[in-house]
Amino acid sequence: MIVAADGGNSTIRRLLGLGALEADYQQTAITANITPERQHQGRAFERFTDSGPIALLPMSDNRCSLVWTVKTGDEIDILELSDQDFLAQLQDRFGYRLGKLMQVGQRNSYPLKLMQADQAVQQRIVLIGNAAHSLHPIAGQGFNLGLRDVAALADVLATTNKDCGDAQLLHDYKQWRQQDQDNVINTTDALVKLFSNNNPLLGHIRGAGLTVMDAIPPAKHWLAQKSMGLARKQPRLGRGIAL
Ligand SMILES: Cc1cc2nc3c(=O)[nH]c(=O)nc-3n(C[C@H](O)[C@H](O)[C@H](O)COP(=O)(O)OP(=O)(O)OC[C@H]3O[C@@H](n4cnc5c(N)ncnc54)[C@H](O)[C@@H]3O)c2cc1C
């Protein structure tokens, strides 16, 4: 059996001639490590701007992992800025929640698109992780979703003494994963569309929605559980149980 875990541009998917639904968001993510003046205290920050979200995610030694979304094409000039000018532009867009942004590491850029393979499970073949579905990083769920794919496939295979490529077995895996995958893909896509729209009325609705969510911890908890796919049956590895 083949488990294709070779990423969004999966060679295996291409060689097998498997189709995929693709939607280009016309956005590009610029990534880099940033050191801010203030301690991040393990908190993640995300700011929604008219060109897409800017996220600073906590890392060791008070560094933050930056994901700065810009309109595709705009990244060319931003990547060429000096460190000082890059930090000044980022500060201007992100604000001072973490104080002055002091240092930036190596920068990279990734065009953002939604890709969902037509059939992630075929006879004796399973596409997994980004090879099956690549998402916009707005909700930071792509890697988590891939890990749940891996954990569920391992769980299904460890529970049987059938041939690992058995059609019923792979069908069970597909059934198990389908709803979580659809849920995360659709929620992420809806968030991108909601937060990439410059309509002022939508801006107010978004602002009100985020304020309400912040003020009602159970609502926030429910949304987080749902977005992280934790509202469904979890594979054993996902619950910290050995197979
Ligand atoms: C800017 C950005 C920010 C993100 N932030 C988050 C986040 O905060 N949280 C989150 O959950 N997800 C996030 N993601 C998504 C996450 O990066 C992906 O979901 C994850 O990397 C997918 O893992 P993967 O192993 O399926 O694919 P990949 O990470 O693409 O790995 C595939 C691997 O296969 C290798 N490979 C390909 N072909 C071959 C071959 N022929 N032989 C051997 N090896 C091969 C590649 O070199 C690569 O190492 C983000 C994505 C982006 C672009």
Distance from the CA of 5 to the center of ligand 1, in angstroms?
9
CA distance 129 to 8: 8
pLDDT tens digits, 116-163: 999 999 999 999 999 999 999 998 999 999 999 999 999 999 999 999
6 pLDDT band, cuts 50/70/90, is very high
* Confidence (pTM): 0.90
CA distance 59 to 241: 27
| Ligand 1 binding pocket includes 235 (Cβ within 6 Å) | no
* Structural domain boundaries in the chain: 2-19+118-239, 24-111
| Ligand 1 binding pocket includes 222 (Cβ within 6 Å) | no
Q: What is the pLDDT of residue 196?
A: 81
Tell me the fold of 2-19+118-239. FAD/NAD(P)-binding domain (3.50.50)
pLDDT tens digits, 34-77: 999 999 999 999 998 888 899 999 999 999 999 999 999 999 99
Tell me the fold of 24-111. D-Amino Acid Oxidase; Chain A, domain 2 (3.30.9)
Distance from the CA of 155 to the center of ligand 1, in angstroms?
22
Residue nearest to atom 43 of ligand 1 (CA): 6
| Ligand 1 binding pocket includes 44 (Cβ within 6 Å) | no
Distance from the CA of 130 to the center of ligand 1, in angstroms?
6
The amino acid at 198: N
The amino acid at 74: D
First to last CA, the chain: 20
Q: What is the pLDDT of residue 32?
A: 98
Q: Does the pLDDT of residue 195 top 90, yes or no?
A: no
What is the pLDDT of the chain when averaged over all its residues? 92
Q: What is the pLDDT of residue 94?
A: 96
C-alpha angle 119-185-211 in degrees, rounded to nearest 5: 175
Residue nearest to atom 31 of ligand 1 (CA): 7
Q: Which atom of ligand 1 is nearest to the CA of 67?
A: 1
What the block records as the tokens of 39 is 């301690």
Q: Which atom of ligand 1 is nearest to the CA of 5?
A: 26
Q: What is the pLDDT of residue 199?
A: 79
Distance from the CA of 67 to the center of ligand 1, in angstroms?
15
174 pLDDT band, cuts 50/70/90, is very high
| Ligand 1 binding pocket includes 188 (Cβ within 6 Å) | no
The amino acid at 28: T
Region for residue 106 given its phi and psi (left: phi exceeds 0; alpha: psi -120 to 50; beta: otherwise): beta
Q: Does the pLDDT of residue 232 top 80, yes or no?
A: no
Residue nearest to atom 37 of ligand 1 (CA): 6
33 pLDDT band, cuts 50/70/90, is very high
Distance from the CA of 37 to the center of ligand 1, in angstroms?
30
